[in-house]
Amino acid sequence: MATQLPTTDIRIGAELIRCRKGGTPLVCLTAYTYPVARLLDRHVDLLLVGDSVAMVLHGHETTLGASLEMMIAHGQAVMRGSARACVVVDMPAGTYEDSPAQAVVSARRIVGETGCQAVKLEGGVGMAGQIAAIVAAGIPVMGHIGLLPQSVEKDGGYKIKGRTDENVAALIADALAVEKAGAFSVVIEGTIEAVAADITRRIVIPTIGIGASSDCDGQILVIDDMVGLTVDRVPKFVKEYADLRSVIAQAAQRYASEVRSRTFPGPSHIFSSTNGGDEA
């Protein structure tokens, strides 16, 4: 029977996420900053400090622009802004692939400097040794299979997975390898719906879908995509629940107009010599 997550401000750990297999779908979103973490914390089960921050906040073309220092800084901000959600921090490209020993050193630094509940890394069969080593070091690991953003240059772009029998077999092998290595959950990204659903049925750890299947044990989206703040192309699998692009643009337009007409700041936004008790 699936374990219900606490409704208080008790921090959710990786084991509680693992126990949600087959239960009420897990609600996951990315977060990169303190204020956004504050806003999301009460509504989600898991916050991912994704290496997508390199693209979303820092303007890089791919996630390869993320560094360990960048992930730690944003992980610290999200931990300060959250009290309940399980916080997972992405391991950026180049910090774990070379060897299990390298992976453990990087994972220990992330957890030690942020206090997050787990780390996430990309790859299946080829990264099973790294996952097992990190888990053996006492750090929970979330896996990531299917479309791997850190491998887009090698793959020649963002290509949907699971279109051929060979690729389906490889995806299943990756999922089983991640599970066997000890991961507490696995993200399935950019994968044909039926394949993602089949993988979800095959493995005993929760699957978190993004561009995958509603049959996954949970879903995740990039927060900026979800609230309509993305200024470049929005992926097909994204549903925009708000249109902050228009809200921000209209607010900036109104502000500019009032500054140029000298209607801002007005009387209620300035300090006079007689109201010394005012606070900034």
- Catalytic residues, by residue number, are 189
What is the rounded distance in angstroms from the CA atom of residue 38 to the CA atom of residue 34? 6
Report the chain's C-alpha Rg in angstroms: 21
Can you give the three-state secondary structure of the chain, one letter per residue? Answer: CCCCCCCCCCCCCHHHHHCCCCCCCEEEEECCCHHHHHHHCCCCCEEEECCCHHHHCCCCCCHHHCCHHHHHHHHHHHHHHCCCCEEEEECCCCCCCCCHHHHHHHHHHHHHHHCCCEEECCECHHHHHHHHHHHHCCCCEEEEEECCHHHHHHHCCCCCECCCHHHHHHHHHHHHHHHHHCCCEEEEECECHHHHHHHHHHCCCCEEEECCCCCCCEEEECHHHHCCCCCCCCCCCCCCCCCHHHHHHHHHHHHHHHHHCCCCCCHHHCCCCCCCCCCC
